[in-house]
Chain A
């Protein structure tokens, strides 16, 4: 029987091993064990999450491809489709921040262009521990450099994203990368292995020993032996990937291939088996023919290697030469290493012998699916918020403190390192509510937003899941975009712990409810479990990427005040909800209470109203209220305009001042209009039963907020702007 230690190294349980023996009718050899180890790992098989992900709505009239392929595809009209997905590269980024993040970018980009789409945008959602700890600074610097180094070099703009800081991420940073490309609807390519006898080509970089067991590393917690894991991190070459991208897209302009799949996690193993499984066919390859950059590689090493920048192509029998010519033009290897067979088997030859002979079905479709035990965690009882809290003695100081806190402060230090303009499509630069890309020679534009507040998800996972979707859609609404599709990256701790499984189930339920209410299909995504080190788990961190369309690009809306003397209007209702807020965390060092409530139907009505007033030209700016509450939102409206215009507003709500200014109540948008159009806006709001309150006017060079006519905030714009702008650069300034 199998050695217990070997099983452990391959992160397979004894039961899973016994099932393998049953399925293949014998014991697997070491290479075959390696294959099962990868494909049955959490990262590749989704065995702990599959059951729950079924709750997510995946249908929609514009869905061309839902979950299950390299990326999701939504029809966006004009004969075009948007291909997009989000993926995590968390564990490698802790071990080797630069390469972990870089290869995360490389991996997701391949998922896009393997379907025939030229990637036109990247966004990244990052989570780090507090920057007061030097190690977290090092990780953040490495990750940002890695994303910049790869994305800039390959020529895909990084146009947005978000960064949050929290203690739970110190030993478990998160790097979630979203990518999107555009393809002609009738020129989409899939990961199929069709046509018995069709040649299987290996294209791209040579295979080496990097990243072996990368997928299994991502499926286990970290412990003390981290240094040993360094070779598990893949090393990326963006130049090679650029060549690969151009060569693949060129091949795809002609009718030369029947299927293509990138070699990402689990490299050759994953690509061969997934392609064969899709087409219910088989594949036979000869490892002697695989281009290698190291000597003496074993079949085990070659099948498990996660060397980057490689693709697997099934070409039409009579078109191989043309395919090879194109790859040769771009100075890339394109080698026939096998062919498509019938019989549903993966057969691998090495040195004249068959070293792997497995039914593809067993590898892909018969991995056990688990309904793991879930249990309501005890911590929820201790996190109730005790009121009343002492009110600030100086609201100006409080606002300064919030504006300069890492999560809220301006992130220009980060996004200045990203080329966010290449491909000349970027209409909104990073920093706005959503990213906006025009589509060349077309009237419409694409809007993208990434969101996911993990503190909300920790304190009330279902609400956290709902708000993640709602906030992304709210960001799109502020830009003038209606949402059309969703991808999600679900980052959690160890699913074998019932409390973590409970968090996961609840978050998925929340996301499902929100997507159903907003009528947007989930086209795919990623689950990252085991984000836990030395027993400390991350907060549940759902990251939602929502894609939207602005039907008329000329009507897109920006968040900043753009003129003096414009009325400022709050859409939505203020409530007394300080739970789970940045204010509590920043000022009282508390992470307690319940996150703000959310009424999904009401949220949707606010979005629709916002879109309506934007399309009717009744507003000059729109910005949603989120972390930091109303006061921070208003200050940002000033900072995000070109001229940094101040404002003088009065809030009439009879409620506690701290909650009014800094509470994070949902479904609120601040718009500015102009004096001529204000009445029409207010009349329409009344008609649509949307609460719209005029707060005051823009103008001057001070930020002035009064409550019941008493001035409580009065600071020069330039001082507040400086605090917001300089917080992050100050932390990274070389002394």
Chain B
């Protein structure tokens, strides 16, 4: 099976994600250029982190109109696996494949640091290799990671078990202190109703090697690989 990593003008974590999938996890991986209409028969599309289109207008808003996104939307509607990381998550929100929006971090500054996230739903294609309640140490790096959605949406997300990750402390407490960017309900990652499209703000590709601080991010990629096998 194959992974496809989308490149928008301004994507920065495309090479990082490609490196982890290809060199570390030994998966067939290809780049997908935003101007094209070809998904190259991939089994999973990854929208990587970065500053697509310089974050002009709203993060991810212009990228959502790229020609390739028409294909990605169709792919998703047909049940294909799509993972949006950081800016990729923002693109999924702009595409309407996930509900809600991202506001500026509550401290009004860019935040780059390791955080802990708790797995709230271990039945997704992206988390089934982990356990509900498991704590993962994965870094964030964003300015606009403060998740917001209207009250009814939040209610739906909860009822349908669409919240996949929540910011927590090292012991699993969902606290305000652990919620460094101010997201509603400490939401760090969400899945769509059908369960095939996930967006997460933390960067699992940055937590795939102990040398760089943590290997906890691998669980997400390994879950996808296992699902496809």
Chain A residues engaging chain B, CB cutoff 8 angstroms? 148, 152-155, 237-240, 242-243, 329-331, 415-427, 429, 438, 440-441, 553
Contact = CB atoms under 8 A, between A and B. Distances in A.
A417 B208 CA distance: 22
B51 A424 contact: no
A421 B206 contact: yes
A222 to B, nearest CB: 29
Contact of A416 (B54, B109, B203): B109
B96 interface: no
A203 to B, nearest CB: 15
B130 interface: no
Contacts of A329: 35
B45 interface: no
Interface centre among A416, A438, A441, by most B CB within 10 Å? Answer: A416
18 contacts: A148-B110, A152-B141, A153-B54, A154-B51, A155-B51, A239-B10, A242-B51, A243-B9, A243-B10, A415-B112, A418-B110, A420-B112, A421-B112, A423-B15, A423-B16, A424-B205, A424-B209, A440-B23
Contact of A238 (B16, B23, B54, B113): B54
Contact of B111 (A242, A416, A422, A440): A416
A441 B22 CA distance: 12
Given A153-B55, A416-B113, A422 B9 contact: no
Contacts of A331: 9
A79 to B, nearest CB: 18
Given A152-B143, A239-B55, A423-B15, 11 more contacts: A152-B51, A153-B10, A237-B54, A238-B51, A238-B54, A239-B53, A416-B110, A418-B112, A423-B16, A427-B211, A440-B23
A715 to B, nearest CB: 25
B212 interface: yes
B59 to A, nearest CB: 11
B179 to A, nearest CB: 15
Given A148-B110, A417-B109, A426 B9 contact: no
A417 B110 CA distance: 5
Interface string B1-38: 00000000110110110011001000000000001000
Contacts of B203: 421
Contacts of A429: 213
B214 to A, nearest CB: 11
Contacts of A553: 211
Contacts of B16: 422-424
B206 A424 contact: yes
A419 B10 CA distance: 15
B60 interface: no
Contacts of A154: 12, 51
Contacts of A240: 54
Interface string B38-81: 00000000000111011110000000000000000000000000
Contacts of A153: 10, 51, 54-55
A237 B51 CA distance: 12
B84 interface: no
Contact of A419 (B54, B141, B211): B141
A419 B113 CA distance: 8
A553 B143 CA distance: 32
Nearest to A424: B16
B139 interface: yes
Count chain B CB atoms within 10 A of each CB in A148, A424, A426 and give the residue with the most: A424
Contacts of A424: 16, 19-20, 205-206, 208-209, 212
Nearest to B113: A416
The winner among B20, B51, B53 for most chain A CB atoms within 10 A is B51
Q: Which of B9, B23, B49 has the most CB of A within 10 A?
A: B9
B110 A152 contact: yes
A330 B209 CA distance: 32
Contacts of B20: 424
A419 B51 CA distance: 12
Interface in B133-184: 139, 141, 143
Interface residues on B, range: 20 to 34
A418 B112 CA distance: 6
A416 B54 CA distance: 20
Contacts of A238: 51, 54
Most chain A beta carbons < 10 A, residue from B53, B141, B203: B141
A153 B59 CA distance: 12
A148 B105 CA distance: 15
A421 B54 contact: no
A330 B9 contact: yes
A417 B112 CA distance: 6
Contacts of A438: 211-212
A421 B211 CA distance: 12
Contacts of A237: 54
Nearest to A729: B107
A212 B110 CA distance: 32
A213 to B, nearest CB: 28
A444 to B, nearest CB: 13
B14 to A, nearest CB: 9
A422 B86 CA distance: 12
A272 to B, nearest CB: 28
Closest 8 CB pairs of A and B: A239-B54, A155-B12, A424-B16, A153-B51, A419-B141, A417-B110, A419-B112, A421-B206
Contacts of B35: 329
Nearest to A553: B211
A309 to B, nearest CB: 12
Contacts of B109: 416-417
A421 B23 CA distance: 18
Contact of B9 (A239, A416, A420, A421): A239
Contacts of B206: 421, 424
A329 B50 CA distance: 19
Contacts of B143: 152
Contacts of B13: 155, 422
Contacts of A243: 9-10
Contacts of B112: 152, 415-421
A586 to B, nearest CB: 28
A243 B7 CA distance: 12
A704 B49 CA distance: 46
Nearest to A430: B112
B51 A421 contact: no
B212 A421 contact: yes
Contacts of B15: 423
Nearest to B51: A153
A212 B12 CA distance: 32
Contacts of B55: 153, 239
A142 to B, nearest CB: 13
A419 B19 contact: no
B105 to A, nearest CB: 10
B19 A440 contact: yes
Contacts of A152: 51, 110, 112, 141, 143
B50 A421 contact: no
Counting chain A CB atoms within 10 Å of each CB, which of B12, B16, B19, B56 scores highest? Answer: B12
A303 B55 CA distance: 31
Nearest to B110: A417
A30 B146 CA distance: 54
A239 B212 contact: no
Q: Most A CB atoms within 10 A — which of B19, B54, B111, B113?
A: B54
Interface in B172-229: 203, 205-206, 208-209, 211-213
A155 B109 CA distance: 17
A489 B160 CA distance: 58
Contacts of A415: 112
A237 B19 CA distance: 28
Interface in B101-138: 109-113
A425 B54 CA distance: 23
B51 A239 contact: yes
A419 B53 CA distance: 18
A302 B18 CA distance: 42
A154 B53 CA distance: 11
Contacts of A425: 212
